[in-house]
Structure 1
Amino acid sequence: MFLDRRTFAISSTALLAGCATTGTRPLAVAGCTQLPKVLVDESRVIRTVAGLRPYRSAGFVVRREALGEKSLVHNYGHGGAGITLSWGSSRLATDLGLQGHSGPVAVIGSGVMGLTTARLVQEAGFPVRIYTAALPPDTTSAVAGGQVSPFGHYREGEVTPEWMAQFQSAMAYSWQRFQALVGERYGIRWQRTYEETRDTIYPNDWMNPYYPNGRLLRPEEHPFPVARVVAFDTMYVETPRFMAELTSEVLNAGGTIRMRKFESLADVAALPETLAFNCTGIGAKALVGDEKLTPVRGQLAVLQPQHEVRYAFAGSAGYMFPRGDGILLGGTFERGEWDATPQPDDIARIISSHKRLFADFRCTA
């Protein structure tokens, strides 16, 4: 089965309905009265979702190997940082694979890694075909929260200095690329973020190279009922819109998408393309036998949109990210769970913890 531009245009119209991007102007940290309270209640839940993050304690894999007379470049295992690292990791992969190559290219997988890899292949001047067992919105990437901030993608002590250099390179390119895409078209916006922290730091001492405006707030500067809060601005990706736009760009640039599931590397070796990129996410565990890869389930409850809420929060209560299509409430990081089905008890805990958080606001707009 092939997907052409007309088929995609029809399906993407329905996908984007109701997904208008929220405002992009960052809020100033001047006082907690600027923050409207999120209205958390079971009656406001419009849907629940769950996704399986492809987690490797030793970090993501970008590596090239021979597959008979062909080449296979791996680009998988990004845990909770898939959206964040997508452009940069795919840049590492394409730099590795396209050197000295000629002819069409295959990309296996249509999550965010597959789509960004395909676009970079096209930008380098090569024809591309995506092979995938599922299309957005039925990929893990399409249900991700979308904060551009790396999280849950490795374990301290299990990564090498070489891998850290890869990570830093990927982060730098992704940060640059996402900044260039801010706006309604891709559903990317800047947003003030408040994060609970345990660090005993002083105002203006908190610093991250990608959040140079971050600082620890005084208690009177925020309404959250927690001991310490850091505020910073970062970008957020409205993943349904972003994935739809990338898919459209791949097709408009002459790419094709073929529905296919790969059972083994022998299936990959039988492809007509002499270069393939493995962007299968959690599917790489079975495809290449990566025993270090494990699913980490993340569950979300989505509330009715509240367009006046233009900030995000993350902490012990979980996380809250506002989008045009609803308020995302999350907070699970469940290692080894293969069932991509929302669990009622977990969803109830997510709602309950956020209800307590916002009920205890010290002041409201």
Structure 2
Amino acid sequence: MHRESKATKDVVVIGAGVVGLSTAIRIQEEGGYRATVVAETFPTDPKTIRYASHWAGAHHVSAAFDDKRQREMDKGTFEIMWKDSAHGGPIQGCFLRHNHTEFRSDGVDPTEWLDYMPEFRSVSNNELVPGATRGWTFTTFTLYPPVYLNWLLGRFLTNGGTIVRAQLQHISQAMHGGISGLPQRPDAIVACVGLGARFLGGIEDKEVYPVRGQSIVLKAPWVKYSRTLSCADGSYFYMMPRVTGDVLVGGIKSANDWFPIPRKEGRDYILAGVLAICPELAPPKIRAERVPTIDDLRPLIVEEGCALPPSRNGGIRLETEWFKASPQSKIPVVYNYGHAGMGFQSSWGSASIALDLLEEALASGEPNTSKGTKQGACP
């Protein structure tokens, strides 16, 4: 519900990935704010390694482990997206609800952070795939990132939001009206800058690093379910269907690896891994005649991709830092970045926390170090 009684304040959101757009919408729809999103890349642009959201698998399977904050963010986001994915919902054509099975041989039991999922149950031994010692199944969904991201952008603009295309070198450029189209003196900034947090002047968070992922899109419309396998040796494979009839498959997560394009050796590794957990990826005619091989999957390849999701030592950064905007004034900067590969599945949850931080900062009117806020300076 909008709170029309409070004075309208200008907020600049840096970043137009799924986290930035969700946060901008959450702030905007709270009421009392004029939101401007400034970013180098938007969902309407061609895919680029500098914009991780386009490459996401975007299925909702929480991996929160013992992080209670992450669990709450993931669950809150699932509840919102589950409603959006319902038949007759605003973007039902973007979502595909389906059965998912989580196979593991690493000794981890995900029940504590997944048991809220619809139809959650453990699987029997005869349902296990090769390499798995336990498994759990439930209903979830995948969403199609290009459509969903553009829907978010359209929702933001329809509600009166403003976008500005710019490459910031320093966060102070968003504070002093140094970029055409931005407010001359915003009341607050929300930094949803992803991997850019490592390089953007004034933030330069060296705890942020990429976890390189490589994926393959297969045209396999006969597959309508998803599976993952987490092994004791650290290997991990996944396959997830989309509403388009494609199936996204992957199995590479490499920390601090900046290589920006798919590696050939990664392709065969992924295809072999996902074929082992889902032979049904091969065309039905081939499976009826013989045991399929990875060569049977190659003609199904639609696209290969590579992304650099922004991970962070210590988890998602959700806190406020006050910057000296002038000799007489300070401005709060709310941070919301470091989601690793969990940007979509925690987007609305982290956006709500960012809004709470923003409202607390603007209500206080000054830094409150007793609540853990930080203070910085801008040139």
TM value normalised by structure 1:
0.62
Correspondences of 1:199-238 after superposition (within 5 Å): 208-211=114-117, 213-221=119-127, 226-238=132-144
Residues 250 and 274 in structure 2, CA contact (< 8 A), matched pair in contact too: no
In structure 2, how many angstroms separate the alpha carbons of the residues matched to 1:103 and 1:223?
Answer: 54
Give SS of 2:227's match.
strand
Alignment of 1:128-167 (within 5 A): 128-136=35-43, 137-138=47-48, 139-151=51-63, 164-167=67-70
- Distance of 2:108 and 2:118 partners within structure 1: 16
Cα separation, 1, equivalents of 2:280 and 2:223: 17
C-alpha displacement at 1:172, in angstroms? 3.3
Equivalence for 2:239: 320
Higher RCO (C-alpha 8 Å, min separation 6):
1
Aligned to 1:340: 260
Measured at CA, do residues 170 and 200 of structure 1 come closer, stay the same or move farther in structure 2, by a change above 3 Å?
A: closer
Question: Shift in Å at residue 213 of structure 1?
Answer: 3.0
| Partners of 1:123 and 1:132 in 2: CA distance | 20
Cα gap change, 1:104 to 1:324, in 2 (>3 Å): same
From 70, 77, 81, the equivalent of 1:178 is 81
Change beyond 3 A, Cα 1:207–1:283: closer
Q: Which of residues 81, 88, 110 in structure 1 aligns to 2:16?
A: 110
Deviation at 1:167, TM superposition (A): 2.7
Percent sequence identity is 24
Identify unmatched segments of 5+ residues in structure 1: 1-98, 157-163
Distance 1:201 1:106 in 2: 41
What is the rounded CA distance, in whole Å, between the counterparts of 1:290 and 1:312 in structure 2? 35
CA contact (8 A) 1:225 1:360 kept: no
Q: Is the 8 A contact 1:215 1:231 kept in 2?
A: yes
Query: What is the CA–CA distance in structure 1 between the aligned matches of 2:6 and 2:277, rounded to whole Å?
Result: 55
Tell me the SS of whatever aligns to 1:334. Answer: strand
User: Residue 174 of structure 2 aligns with which residue?
Assistant: 268
C-alpha separation in 1, matches of 2:273 and 2:150: 32
Distance 1:274 1:200, change over 3 A: closer
CA contact (8 A) 1:190 1:233 kept: yes
Q: CA deviation at 1:330?
A: 0.8
- Judge which range, 219-228 or 286-295, deviates more: 219-228
Q: CA deviation at 1:359?
A: 4.1
CA contact (8 A) 2:213 2:253 kept: yes
Distance in 1 between residues matched to 2:54 and 2:174, nearest whole Å: 25
Asked if 1:293 is matched to 2:204, the reply is no
The aligned length equals: 256
2: distance between equivalents of 1:144 and 1:322? 13
Counterpart mapping for 1:1-365 below 5 A: 102-125=8-31, 126-136=33-43, 137-138=47-48, 139-151=51-63, 164-183=67-86, 185=91, 187-198=94-105, 208-211=114-117, 213-221=119-127, 226-271=132-177, 272=183, 273-287=186-200, 288-304=203-219, 306-315=220-229, 316=231, 318-325=237-244, 326-359=246-279
- Can you give the 5+ residue segments of structure 2 that lack an aligned partner in the other structure? 178-182, 289-379
Q: How far apart, CA to CA, are the structure 1 residues paired with 2:104 and 2:272?
A: 21
Deviations 1:192-238 (A, max 9, x none): 11121237799xx8883422632222234466674433212223222
Instruction: Return the alpha-carbon distance in structure 2 between the equivalents of residues 150 and 129 of structure 1.
Output: 30
Question: Aligned letter for 2:104?
Answer: T
Residues 240, 248 of structure 2: 8 Å contact kept: yes
CA root-mean-square deviation: 3.3
How far the C-alpha of 1:190 sits from its partner, in A, is: 2.5
**CA–CA distance in structure 1, aligned partners of residues 108 and 190 of structure 2:** 43
